[in-house]
Structures are given as structure tokens and as C-alpha cells.
A and B are shown apart, each in its own frame.
Chain A
Amino acid sequence: MDNIAGVNSRLTWTVNIAVLALVILWTLPTFGLLVSSFRDRDQIATSGWWTAMSASEQNVVVRAAAPDTAELIDGVYVLTGVVGAGETSHFGISSREPKAFAAGEIAERNGARITVETDGTYRIESNEPMTGSRGTRIFATITVPPVFTIDNYKRVLFSEGIGRSFLNTLTVTIPATIIPILVAAFAAYALAWMEFPGRALLVAVIVGLLVVPLQMALIPLLKLHNIVGLGKGYMGIWLAHTGFGLPLAVYLLRNYIVSLPREVIESAKVDGATDFQIFRRIVLPLSFPALASFAIFQFLWVWNDLLIATVFLGNTESQLVMTGQLRELLGSRGGDWEILASSAFVSIAVPIFVFFTLQKYLVRGLLAGSVKGG
């Protein structure tokens, strides 16, 4: 029997390591972009984010100061300057051999002595006066210490239009999350606790509507909005999100409300309360967890939506939402990872915050409404 304990602890170890591997696999991509969003633009482009904590080696080319600006010091013409911030290990004076000399050594060129010190300063000396306005090229290998900065965020928020589209997204999300709740709650109550012919059929229809692909709805509604004069604007998208969110809202809330204790509602009816009073005084307060679940779903869905925003909102500065802006940046700034990374995180931050603070309700809602497909 005594080896069972050993087997168990080995199993526990395996499970722990397996979970750790899964967690790393699942968080690494996000973490990589998060780290990158705080890195310096040049460093992102030249080294992997996993090297962010260590100093990176960069090969730089600088043009030295113009020869005719040389100063005469003690009978020698001297040019000085810096090749870059960081520790210089090697330098060179031709592109073929950029690492020809160690720092501190002296390279000769056309009678001039060129040297680069380890602190990154260069010095060119010549006994003869130097002429010309184009400085010579110096190649240097510099070890740059890790640089972390919030400049990327400042830039995307204030000059790349992300700040504005953040506001636009909020504008879309707030009404589109709150309005469906009330509309749905009344309907859910009727479907749960009122007797009328056709009730079962209506519930079935709503379950069916849960999975209708939005693609079906886009063109007809775009035409409809144009006919009734809504065109492309916030009113249209609020209505669209409300309509598209309703099946899930009614379904979730009905399932919850129907499970409330029958005695509570019937005793209220016996006491002469009307349906409206029962709804407002009893059902609505008791359904708070379900309302919260739906609100989180709808919030995440609206905030993260690209399709409906592209169809029902315009492309102008005053209407472009963050997902749309990200899509445009992917097209126009595809290689500028510092812009992409920080923009992505501005748009992810709010839903992630909501997710971690209200996860309990989200999970509860998922478990209650797992018929819906997102």
C-alpha cells in the first residue's frame, strides 16, 4: 500500500505541471504583446519581446559631423560626437567591416584618426585641415539597455485617433447594454408567469432566434434604416444591438424568472397585487443576478463587435469605434507594432477589467444560457 502515496504525489505533480503549461500557453501571446506595448519602437523591431529585460545589441550607422566644422585644438583638427546611447563594443569605418575595431582602438582614414570609446563618443583627429560638408560614416555595435516607455500609449491615445474611438465605443456600448435589459425583463416575466395561448410557441421561436446568423440581418436592416431615415448613426446601432441582443436577454431572464419560487408570486397575487406590481416589487429585484449576467454578456459583445459597427456606423472620426480603428491600423500600420500593441491594449483593457471583476456573473450566465452562440 505504501507506494500509493508516491503515485498520488507524482500524479499531483504531473497535473500541476500540465496546468502550468496550459496556462503559460494561453497567456503567453497576450503577455508578449503587453510587454511589447511598453517597449521602444526600435527595440520591438529588432529583438523579440522575450529579450526585453536584457540589453539588446544594435548595429547603428551614424554620419559624423561635417569635416569643415572641425575645431582646432592644440594644433590638431578635432571632430567629436556620439554614435548612440549605450555601451559600444566595436566600430568600423566601412560597411563591409562594421566591427573591424574594438572600442578605443584607432582607425586611420585619409590621414584622419578615428576612434570610438566604449561610452559611445567618437573623436576624429587630423593634422591637416579637413574639408567637405559630408561627415564620414561610422558603424558601431552598441549594447542598449532595456527601455520601457509609455510613449506608445500617449501616441495612440492622442494622435492616432484611438482616444476618440474609445469615446465612440463607449457611446455605442452604454445605451446598447442597458436598454435591452428592461425590454427583455418585461417580456421574460410575461413568458414565465402569465398564462396566454401561444406561450410555448413564442419561447420556441426565441430559442430559434438565438442562433440566427447576424449576416442574414445586415443587408435588409441597412436598407430599412435608410428607408426610415436612420441612415448610419448611433440611433441605428443602438436599435440594432438591442434587437440582436434580445433573444439571449429574454431567454436568460425567462429561465431565471421561471425558477423563482411559485409561492412568493402566488401569495402576492392572492394579496391583490397586479402583474405590474409583482414584476416591479418582486421579480425585478430577485432577478438581479440574471440581469447582471446578461448585462456583462451584452457589454462584452457590443464592446468587442466589429461587424455591426462596420455596417451601421460610418467610417468618420466621430463614428469609428475601436475595433474598426484597430482593423484600419492593421491595414495601414501593419508593421508598426508599437502602435498596434498599445492600441490593442487600450481596446482590451476595459473588457478585461469587467471580466475579472464580474467573472462570477459571467460564469453563471454562461451556465444558464449555453445555447447561445455568441
Chain B
Amino acid sequence: MEQILNAVGIMIIGVFGCVAYFLASNTILDLIWPARGPQAARNIRITNLIRPWLFMGPALALLATYLVYPVFQSIWLSFHNETGDEFVGLANWIWLANDDKFLESMANNMLWLFFVPAASTAFGLIAAALTDRIRWGNFAKSLIFMPMAISFIGASVIWKFVYEYRGSDQEQIGILNAVIVALGGEPQAWITIPFWNSFFLMIILIWIQTGFAMVILSAALRGISEETIEAAVLDGATPLQIFFRIKIPQMWGTIAVVWTTITILVLKVFDIVLAMTNGQWSSQVLANLMFDWMFRGNDYGRASTVALVIMLLVTPIMVWNIRNARKEMQ
């Protein structure tokens, strides 16, 4: 309890600290260059130059410390040994290129990078298109959207129970194996089957992300101009034709945003793999490999190198996002 009070206390101090900083810095600025008297015009010009930086100061300082500095520090670390004391040149990168676990992670990540965004977007699109047509659509949307609120680790517990395996002489308590047995099949320990287990882990992320795709795509569907649809109806198009030939082409922009957003998430997700297999049975992915080298391997050089690979994979999307944002601003 005391701890919560502490937290609330810190929160209040933090909020008041912020307010005090902004108030004080603004007041001081106005005292030094007052907006009246003979030099008012000059003073206003000066304060207008400085004030934006006062407003942005704390945010910029935090961003620089917590996101910009680490990028450069990671690059530096990737050329140093496990403690960061000794320059080792390209040793970490050469190790990476020859490491089996890294190659396995890369291969798995490529699978993840394709299937998770593809399936989430596809399911999201289906869910959006269908729920818009029925009366209880909003309720259905809420339920499909709900996994978004569940942590990756919570979702892993939920799905581990779905995949739970018992020997074929026992009663199955995992629903997947129960269905398989009911259909006359053999129960399987799903998450231990190399290669295919990655797909069982992907299902968890698809389950979480479909709701996100659905919400965005459903808004895009509603934004489609009525006239194009009416024209197609008059020309005798079937609902399916309207969907694939009229609606989807008008949504490419949004689909791309959804796809790239999920792609970035896929590259960063490590909780699911950590909780389900911890990279065993050849299911390793980059984010978990990095975590492994950081915590169990205690090798900051190698861990940073893996992190940089993730960063490199994200970079094209980053550039694309920045371009889009600049276009919108103009």
C-alpha cells in the first residue's frame, strides 16, 4: 500500500514539477525580455524564438536520452566485446553471419513477417466487411477487438491451454487436441514440432492483431464513396465483385498502413516466443535471441548486434512513414 502511495506521490510531484517548470521558465523569459516598453517588438521576436524550445525541452531531452542516444550507443557496442570494453571490429557481425541460431531466427522472422501481417489484415478485412452488415456488428467487433487489451504473456497462457497435450491414452484437456481426437486423429504436442510450431505461435499474434486491423479497415470501408458503389450496383455487380473490385482498390493506402504497423510489431514481439517455447524446437526469433544474449549470454556486443539487425529491418518502414508524414504536412 505504501508503495502505491509512493507512486501516486511521484505522479503528483511529476505533474506539478512539469507545471512548475513550464510556468517558471515562461515567467523568467517574460521578465528578461518584457513584451512592453521601447524594445517590445525586438523582445517579442526574441521570446518567440526561445519559447518553442522551452515548451519542447523536457520532451526533447527525454527523447534524445531514451531513443536517439541508444541507437548510436548500440552501433558502438556492436563493435565491442561482451562487456563493451574492447574494440573487436567486425567480430560480432561475423559471428552473427555464421551463427545457426541467428540464421534460424532470421528464417523464422521472415515467416512471421509474412504470415502475421497477411493473416491479421485478411481476417481484419473479413471481420470489418461482415460486421458492418449486421445489427449486432458493434458487439461482435468488441469481442474480436478484445484480445488487444490482453498482454502477450497473458495471451500465451490462454493459448498454451488451447494447445495443451496429454498422451493419447489420457483425456485431452486442450481443446485443439480434443477436437483432433474427436475427429479420429492422434493428439500432438503442437509447440514442439519444429517448423510448424512457429505457426502455432503466430496464431497467437494474429489473434491479437486482427482486432486492430478490423478497426482501422472498418473505418476505411465506411469512408468509401457511396457513388462508386451505387454505380457498380446499377451495372449489376455482385456483392463479392463490389468488395474486391470497388472497395479494396480504394483501401490500398489503409491496408498498407495496417500491414506495416503489424510488421513493426512482429519484429519487436518476443514475449510470445519466450513464454511458449523460449526458442526451443527451432522456433527462435530475433527479438528473443537478443533478449537471450542480453540476459543469459550477458554479451552486450552480440545482443546489440542482434538489436541492430532488428533496427535495420525496421528502417525501410521508418523511411516510408516519414515520407508519408511529410507529404501530409504539406
Contacts and interface: CB of A to CB of B under 8 A. Distances in A.
A187 B268 contact: no
Nearest to B18: A182
B142 A373 contact: no
Contacts of B58: 183, 186-187
Given A26-B146, A276-B26, A311-B294, 12 more contacts: A172-B7, A182-B19, A190-B53, A211-B318, A213-B310, A217-B66, A239-B62, A275-B55, A310-B295, A348-B150, A363-B215, A366-B216
Contacts of A238: 10, 14
Nearest to A201: B326
A67 interface: no
Interface stretch (B70-78, B101-109, B192-200): B70-78
20 contacts: A16-B134, A22-B123, A22-B127, A29-B162, A32-B161, A46-B171, A50-B175, A168-B3, A183-B58, A202-B60, A207-B325, A211-B321, A217-B66, A220-B77, A238-B14, A242-B62, A300-B149, A305-B151, A348-B150, A374-B268
A370 interface: yes
A12 B134 contact: yes
Interface of A: 11-12, 15-16, 18-19, 22-23, 26-30, 32-33, 36, 44-50, 167-168, 170-172, 174-175, 178-179, 182-184, 186-187, 189-191, 194-196, 199-200, 202-204, 206-221, 223-224, 234-235, 238-240, 242-244, 246-247, 250, 274-276, 279, 300, 303-307, 310-311, 318, 323, 326-327, 330, 337, 340-341, 343-344, 347-348, 351-352, 354-356, 359, 362-363, 366-367, 370-374
Q: Lowest 3 CB-CB distances: which A-B pairs, in order?
A: A243-B66, A373-B264, A304-B151
A11 B133 CA distance: 10
Contacts of A184: 59
A318 B134 CA distance: 49
Please classify the interface of chain B as helix (H, G, I), strand (E, B), loop, or mixed, using the class held by over half of its residues: helix
Contacts of B324: 371
B39 interface: no
Given A168-B3, A220-B70, A326-B154, A26 B173 contact: no
A373 B68 CA distance: 18
Contact of B133 (A15, A167, A210, A323): A15
B43 interface: no
B314 interface: yes
A57 to B, nearest CB: 10
Contacts of A242: 62, 66
Interface string B280-315: 000000010011001100001001101110110010
Contact of B275 (A199, A224, A235, A327): A327
B142 A359 contact: yes
A216 B71 CA distance: 6
A318 B4 CA distance: 12
Contact of A348 (B127, B151, B261, B287): B151
B321 A210 contact: yes
A353 B154 CA distance: 15
B175 A32 contact: yes
A371 B68 contact: no
A171 B4 contact: yes
Contacts of A50: 175, 178
A174 B8 CA distance: 7
Interface in B124-179: 126-127, 130-131, 133-134, 136-137, 140, 142-154, 156-162, 164, 171-175, 178
A179 B161 CA distance: 37
A49 B291 CA distance: 35
Chain B contact-residue range equals 35 or more
Interface string B197-228: 00000000001001010011001000000000
B265 interface: yes
A221 B70 contact: yes
Given A171-B3, A195-B48, A371-B321, A326 B157 contact: yes
B314 A179 contact: no
B306 to A, nearest CB: 8
Which of A19, A250, A311, A362 has most chain B Cβ within 10 Å?
Answer: A19
Nearest to A299: B149
B11 A175 contact: yes
Contacts of B131: 19
A13 to B, nearest CB: 10
B157 A344 contact: yes
Contact of A170 (B7, B18, B175, B304): B7
B255 to A, nearest CB: 11
B223 to A, nearest CB: 10
B151 A323 contact: yes
A307 B130 contact: no
B239 interface: yes
Nearest to A279: B55
A306 to B, nearest CB: 5
Given A15-B130, A168-B3, A327-B274, A183 B154 contact: no
B22 A276 contact: yes
B169 to A, nearest CB: 13
A49 B159 CA distance: 14
A221 to B, nearest CB: 6
A246 B62 contact: yes
Contacts of A216: 70-71, 74, 307-308, 310-311
B110 interface: no
A68 B175 CA distance: 48
Interface string B1-33: 101101110110011001100110010001000
B172 to A, nearest CB: 6
B69 interface: yes
Nearest to A45: B173
